[in-house]
């Protein structure tokens, strides 16, 4: 990577272009795609800041394909992403949490990507000024269609992603991405309207003292997962053991684990036999980012990135974060998947 220049500022656009130059067969289309995602992130960050002032909080009264109440900001986020690609001719289709079916965007020869996106992750935080995010995974693609659950034109597994990342809307707006060559994080400087490199070459600490999980369903978890949870306290009672942090936004909890170490897990429970989180636009993109940073992501049985993609809204259990902490999780579940040997 070239030095950032005399001002020390490395913009996201320049970073994307320099990554592209290192790929001899790159056409520039992935660079345009990532730049458009960053643009959508700026638009969304702006809207989130003023949502209470312009009547954009609260529910629409509709439910999405998951049966969840749709919020006005869910709709805004989804439309913002779709509009960002409507004229770009590089994305064949978008799979979104907010759309029943893949949304066909462009059919030209250059429309060679499939974009999977959760426009507003952590939407239950949005009405209370809490952290929310946008998660994205990018695949080279055909034109996927899903006639009521029938798999067609979808990628095989999350390992086929060519880029993934997230935008986190907190006290500042942060864009974190990977194209399979490490992970970098950028913070939006609102005065100049640019994401600037603030977290170069992020490495996930091998261990960490935080865990993030919704404990409300703990009694419904498999016994091995309950035993793992018990182990996070100190059985000797001499110290507090691990500390819990849970935001209700996957993006924020994984961002903490990525920077400071630790884990996030959402195991199966009675209401969610396959876990609650969605594979294509929650688990797989974050697994790609975390693996690229030296961390791990497992369903409890297999590496998240090796789960066979069957349907666009399929769910998967997730445990993600520091390598050593995920190994401890696996010890309790008596599993060990291949990605342990790759990281």
Binding site for ligand AFP (CB under 6 A): 68, 118, 121-124, 214, 248-250, 276-277, 282
- Rounded Cα distance between 7 and 4, Å, is 7
Residues composing the chain: 343
Question: Which residue number, 200 or 248, has a Cβ lying nearer to ligand AFP?
Answer: 248
Q: From the CB of 282, what's the least distance to ligand AFP, in Å?
A: 6
Task: Round to whole Å and give the CA distance between 287 and 256.
Answer: 14
CB of 317 to ligand AFP, least distance (A): 13
106/254 with CB nearer ligand AFP: 254
Question: Under a CB-based contact definition with an 8 Å cutoff, are residues 264 and 146 in contact?
Answer: no
Provide the minimum distance between the beta carbon of 235 and ligand AFP in the complex, in angstroms, as a whole number: 26
The residue among 15 and 296 lying less far from ligand AFP, judged by its C-beta, is 296
Pair 257, 249: CB distance under 8 Å: no
Residue of 333, 329, 263, 332 whose CA lies nearest to 295: 263
Measured CA to CA, the distance from residue 19 to residue 15 in angstroms comes to 6
Closer of 70 and 292 to ligand AFP (Cβ): 70
Here the contacts of 102-106 (C-beta below 8 Å, separation 24 or greater) are: 102/143, 102/144, 102/145, 102/146, 102/312, 104/143
CB of 120 to ligand AFP, least distance (A): 6
Question: Between residues 122 and 158, which has the closer beta carbon with respect to ligand AFP?
Answer: 122
Q: Tell me how far, at minimum, the Cβ of 264 lies from ligand AFP, in Å.
A: 7
């Amino acid at each position: 990577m070239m030095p950032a220049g005399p001002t020390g500022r490395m913009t996201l656009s320049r970073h994307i272009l320099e990554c592209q130059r290192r790929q001899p067969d790159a056409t520039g289309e992935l660079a345009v795609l990532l730049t458009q995602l960053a643009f959508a992130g700026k638009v969304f960050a702006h809207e989130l800041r003023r949502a209470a002032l312009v009547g954009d909080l609260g529910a629409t009264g509709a439910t999405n394909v998951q049966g969840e109440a749709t919020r006005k900001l869910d709709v805004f986020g989804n439309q913002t992403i779709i509009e960002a690609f409507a004229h770009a001719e590089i994305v064949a289709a978008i799979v979104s949490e907010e759309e029943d079916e893949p949304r066909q965007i462009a059919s030209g020869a250059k429309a060679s990507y499939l974009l999977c996106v959760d426009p507003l992750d952590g939407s239950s935080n949005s009405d209370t000024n809490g952290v929310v995010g946008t998660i994205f995974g990018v695949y080279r693609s055909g034109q996927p269609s899903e006639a009521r659950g029938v798999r067609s034109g979808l990628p095989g597994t999350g390992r086929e992603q060519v880029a993934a990342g997230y935008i986190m809307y907190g006290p500042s707006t942060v864009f974190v991405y990977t194209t399979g060559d490490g992970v970098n994080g950028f913070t939006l400087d609102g005065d100049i309207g640019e994401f600037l490199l603030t977290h170069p070459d992020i490495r996930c600490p091998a261990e960490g003292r935080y865990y993030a999980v919704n404990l409300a369903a703990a009694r419904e978890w498999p016994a091995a997962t309950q035993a793992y949870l018990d182990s996070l306290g100190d059985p000797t009672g001499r110290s507090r053991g691990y500390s819990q942090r849970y935001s209700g936004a996957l993006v924020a909890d994984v961002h903490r684990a990525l920077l400071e170490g630790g884990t996030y897990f959402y195991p199966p429970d009675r209401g969610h036999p396959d876990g609650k989180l969605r594979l294509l636009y929650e688990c797989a993109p974050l697994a790609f980012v975390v693996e690229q940073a030296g961390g791990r992501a497992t369903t409890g049985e297999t590496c998240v990135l090796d789960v066979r993609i069957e349907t666009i809204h399929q769910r998967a259990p997730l445990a993600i974060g520091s390598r050593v902490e995920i190994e401890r999780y696996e010890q309790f579940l008596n599993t060990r998947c291949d990605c342990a040997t790759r990281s």
